[in-house]
Chain A
Amino acid sequence: MALYAMPPQPVMAKLHVGQQFQDQLVGSTTSSASGAYAIKVTSANAVTSSEYFGHVNLMIQAAGNGYFSLYGLPREVSEVSGHMMLGSIEGKPAAVPAQATLILHRLTGKDAAVSDVAASDGCWALETDEGPAWGHIDSVFGIMDGVRKWVTYYSGSTSTVGIALSIDGAPWVNGEAGTTSVTGGAGSDQFPTASGWTDYTYETEFEEGVFESCELSGDAATFPYAWDGGGQGINVGVPAAHYCVYYSAGNEPSQTSTQAFTFSDGIDLTPTIDGYNFGLDLSNVTGWSTDVTLTYQYTTDGWMCGVNNYPERGDDTPKNIVAAPTSAGSS
């Protein structure tokens, strides 16, 4: 089993069909006969050199006895008290270490004869470009007039999307192989302002590709690998929100999803003799972005309401903030 760090976003975004890329080895191990494993981080540099705007895409590859599997999981790299830490990309403390079960797939034909090392060497090729796919950014809601709302998507914003895996022509199973993240480029995009009754989820486009392992002819995974930009809003219905804060006319409160939390529960990448066991967090959120700002501009008195908590608490992903005319919120 091998843990790899995928190339940073600017490299992935420049891929052309037929081109290969090489993941960097972070650590490796051999599982027990029962399949239990613990991968130690022996090359922290492989992680830190692969990060882009603090985000890194990691991938576990497992191969042996004619079986193969992979599992992707994006992480955030941050510096805490002089130590480089690896933590959950949503900013929530990850249960470290946590268990993740990889579903092994049986290889056939010539692939079954490929050595375990070759099968999990971290080399991939872009087989086909599937074109753009929409990914969620965040949502704005309102049930009153007089409140203008908009979403700003900043440089370094990252969306996580499920990886679909297919071995030897088997049906695609989205999300079974974990998730990957796509980080936007420089600058920012502000989506159109919405007023009045609003129930928009904003989306932006990502370029989706089918990737093949360099050594296995029948192994493929599909996931977004570049940010195309642009945006649209789709109607999703106003959620019930009752945790409300009053704002008088003229207020312009904003909430940002930037993950500014301290990753005190993350993995310390500072190299040591023994390395560190790598923990896996199963609390991945598929399709939602970080590093976006929701702004609500009140031109009349009103309330800002959250679904599961007060708006500034930020427990919800997406934010699910509703502009409402009274403290009763929305139902």
Chain B
Amino acid sequence: MNCRAVIAGGLAAGLALLLAGCGAASVPKLNGPFGKDSPGGDCMPVPRGEVATVASQEWPNSGGTARIEKIILVGSHDLRLVAAWVVPVTGTDLIGVFAGYPPLGTKGDGPGSLAPGIEWADRQRADGAVIPHTAGHNVFNLVLVVRPSGVLGSVKDIYVDYAVGSTHYRLDLHFFLKVFNGVPTGSSCSSP
């Protein structure tokens, strides 16, 4: 299997979208310094043709300086990753989930400009981002910008692969996502 980097538009230069299991010589370790996440998911609507900002996931770093190797969308279907950033958060609010690009969204009044402690100016592209040790309750907020094609775009899970020195880890976000393109979310939100 050949693994190819997917470049989309001007926002994703250098961003690599990798399929789970592609090119991995061994499974990264779980239980790393980014901790663990509880299973969950989200269903959301966007205006037809619009992108969605999904920034409800975060992690601390209880260990030494880490480097993110790749963000993996597991079981992706009709959903393209347009951009991915990590944003330091020194307050108690995350950017959140809404239609449009971060930090303002399509309405122009998204939370990114309102919540103190969201250090948007210090964001890094997720691929290759350097994550220092975090103190107190500081975290790094993962910001994904995705675009659905067709009526429904979805992913079954999201992995964050990272390294501390020569040790490779995986943060399994246990997070599914469904983005409804120009239609309501429907009666039942469950993992695809």
Contacts and interface: CB of A to CB of B under 8 A. Distances in A.
A binds B: yes
Interface of A: 93, 242-248, 250-258, 260-262, 264-265, 295, 303, 310-315, 327, 329
B5 interface: no
A253 B97 contact: yes
B57 interface: yes
Given A244-B92, A255-B39, A262-B31, A312 B98 contact: no
A295 B107 CA distance: 25
Given A264-B31, A303-B93, A314-B39, 6 more contacts: A247-B56, A252-B42, A254-B40, A258-B39, A312-B175, A327-B115
A245 B185 CA distance: 20
Contacts of B174: 260
B30 A264 contact: yes
Interface in B147-174: 173-174
A251 B92 contact: no
Contacts of A311: 40, 56
B63 to A, nearest CB: 16
A253 B94 contact: no
A260 B39 contact: yes
Contacts of A313: 35, 37-38, 58
B104 to A, nearest CB: 12
B44 interface: yes
11 contacts: A93-B31, A243-B92, A244-B93, A248-B105, A252-B42, A252-B185, A257-B38, A260-B174, A312-B58, A327-B92, A329-B92
Contacts of B184: 250
B55 to A, nearest CB: 8
Contacts of B95: 246
Contact of A248 (B36, B97, B115, B139): B97
Interface in B88-112: 92-99, 105, 107, 110-111
Nearest to A251: B44
B138 to A, nearest CB: 12
A251 B94 contact: no
B114 interface: yes
A252 B30 CA distance: 28
B41 interface: yes
B97 A245 contact: yes
B185 A310 contact: no
B6 interface: no
B45 interface: yes
In the complex, the 4 A-B pairs of residues with the closest C-beta atoms, listed nearest first = A314-B38, A246-B96, A248-B98, A246-B111
Nearest to B41: A254
Contact of A251 (B36, B37, B97, B110): B97
Nearest to A259: B39
A252 B187 CA distance: 10
Contacts of B31: 93, 262, 264-265
Given A244-B93, A262-B31, A313-B37, A253 B114 contact: no
B38 A247 contact: no
B99 to A, nearest CB: 7
Contacts of B43: 251-252
B40 A255 contact: yes
Given A246-B94, A258-B39, A264-B30, A312 B45 contact: no
B189 interface: yes
Contacts of B97: 245-248, 251, 253
A327 B42 contact: no
Contact of B40 (A243, A250, A256, A265): A256
Interface in B17-41: 30-31, 35-41
Contacts of B94: 244-246, 310
A248 B99 contact: yes
A227 B129 CA distance: 49
B38 to A, nearest CB: 2
Nearest to B31: A264
Quick one: which of A254, A264, A312 has the most chain B CB within 10 A?
A312
A329 B91 CA distance: 13
A224 to B, nearest CB: 25
Given A252-B44, A260-B174, A246 B98 contact: yes
Interface string B110-122: 1100110000000
A256 B39 contact: yes
Given A248-B44, A254-B189, A312 B57 contact: yes
Nearest to B110: A246
B189 A295 contact: yes
A311 B37 CA distance: 10
